Amino acid sequence: MPAQPPLRVVQWATGAVGRSALRALVSRPEFELAGVLVYDPDKVGRDAGDLVGLPATGVKCTDDVERVLALDADCVLHMPLPSAYFGGDRAGDVEMICALLASGKNVITTTGFVYPRCHGPALVERLEAACLAGGTTLHGTGVNPGFMADLMPLALSGLSTRVDHIFVRESSDFRGHPSRQIVTDLIGFTRSPKDYAAAVRPFRMLQRGLFAESVQLVADSLGVTLDEVEESDDYELAREDFPIAAGTVRRGTVCASRWVFSGLVRGRPFMSVECVYKADATKVARWPEPGFTVHIEGVPQMTITVSEMSHGLAGAAAHAVNSIRAVCAAPPGIATFLDLPLAVGAGTARLA
């Protein structure tokens, strides 16, 4: 059987997740790097390999969106900061994704879009029109959402004769996360309570959009009609100064937050997603230790726990990269993970 030609892929944005994805694209022979879109002026003109400590690729980074839209490529790994970071809604992300799709490029994004139907028919119609125009497919993915809060509960439900309540918990340690944009500007760590209350509004909008999609996807897949998705959040203040990769957390500033999203049926939760974020888990005793838990109440009852994920950002990038071939082979339109073969790290296993 003849080998399949490599797929030409564009890396859109090179933050922490984007760099991990770029490293995989450069290293794996089934992909050919077609272009790299960057936002940092200092990265413009640099070789893509240089950004991730690999040999030169011959592909120079650019901030020219029109140039990237004109590229001949099979797929774009779309991994920028979401529009909410800049104080807007998802309209900016939608506009850019639609332009990429209409230009003839499949899009895999980590900015949401796990289940666009959650946001109503107008968004779905716009995205599908762009897919039809370009003959392309859109797929939203990540670790959570994109795997733990949606794929995993649905996989476990296949062992159930009755599901009463689904509970998913993520607890993440941001001690080593290098991006101040994410850790301080978006999540709000190192801010005073007053500053946090004002600054966290865009993040609240982002979080609600992301996890409402996961909750709605699971409910719809199991034939459950939700009345609403309820959200609550809380935060914890540091009791001492301590350093993290993104800066210094001062005593009395926000060092952790907890978010809960519940899909309700007649006032009772059918599915709950709890997200705990800690600036440094060794300094924050409140709330659970880092890891993931999926618990299904029903017949039978089941609990799966991932006690540690040492590089969660790498996991998010890998899930996107491992989806490329399936997304490129899919018919035009919006593709959730239910529409695609399970993404596996083909070709990446290493034997001692």
Model confidence pLDDT, tens digit, residues 151-209 = 999 999 999 999 999 999 999 999 998 889 889 988 999 999 999 998 888 888 888 88
Closest by CA position to 172, among listed 321, 337, 316 = 316
- Do residues 130 and 27 both lie within one domain? yes
Structure tokens at 47: 């070789």
Read off the pLDDT of residues 246-291 as tens digits, 9 standing for 90 and up.
Answer: 999 999 999 999 999 999 999 999 999 999 999 999 999 999 999 9
For residues 94 and 102, give the distance between their C-alpha atoms in angstroms, rounded to a whole number.
Answer: 12
Q: 């997740």: which residue's tokens?
A: 17
Closest by CA position to 292, among listed 146, 158, 161, 176 = 146
- Do residues 106 and 238 both lie within one domain? no
DSSP for residue 15: S
For residues 235 and 253, give the distance between their C-alpha atoms in angstroms, rounded to a whole number.
Answer: 10
For residues 166 and 156, give the distance between their C-alpha atoms in angstroms, rounded to a whole number.
Answer: 10
For residues 295 and 50, give the distance between their C-alpha atoms in angstroms, rounded to a whole number.
Answer: 43
Give domain status of residue 224, yes or no.
Answer: yes
Q: What are the CA-CA distances from residue 105 to residues 174, 240, 268 (Å)?
A: 33, 49, 42
- Do residues 131 and 276 both lie within one domain? no
Does pLDDT of 224 surpass 50?
yes
List all residues 6 or more positions away from 330 whose beta carbon is below 8 Å from its beta carbon: 106, 137, 139, 339, 340
Is 22 in contact with 51 (CB distance < 8 Å)?
A: yes
Read off the pLDDT of residues 96-120 as tens digits, 9 standing for 90 and up.
Answer: 999 999 999 999 999 999 999 999 9
The answer for 280, left when phi > 0, alpha when psi is -120 to 50, beta otherwise, is beta
- Do residues 115 and 163 both lie within one domain? no
* CA dihedral sign of residues 27, 28, 29, 35: negative
- Do residues 162 and 285 both lie within one domain? yes
Read off the pLDDT of residues 15-46 as tens digits, 9 standing for 90 and up.
Answer: 989 999 999 999 999 999 999 999 999 999 99
Give domain status of residue 348, yes or no.
Answer: no
- Number of domains the chain is built from: 2
For the domain that residue 333 is a member of, what is the CATH number?
3.40.50.720
- Do residues 87 and 117 both lie within one domain? yes
Fill in the amino acid letter for 323.
S
- Do residues 15 and 135 both lie within one domain? yes
Give domain status of residue 218, yes or no.
Answer: yes
Give domain status of residue 52, yes or no.
Answer: yes
Closest by CA position to 271, among listed 297, 237, 238 = 297
- Do residues 130 and 95 both lie within one domain? yes
- Structural domain for 102, as ranges: 7-142+314-339
- Do residues 104 and 179 both lie within one domain? no
What residues does 249 pair with on adjacent strands? 242
- Do residues 155 and 303 both lie within one domain? yes
Give domain status of residue 349, yes or no.
Answer: no
- Do residues 164 and 212 both lie within one domain? yes
Structure tokens at 100: 């990429």
Q: C-alpha 313: how far from its chain's center?
A: 9
Give domain status of residue 350, yes or no.
Answer: no
- Do residues 83 and 194 both lie within one domain? no
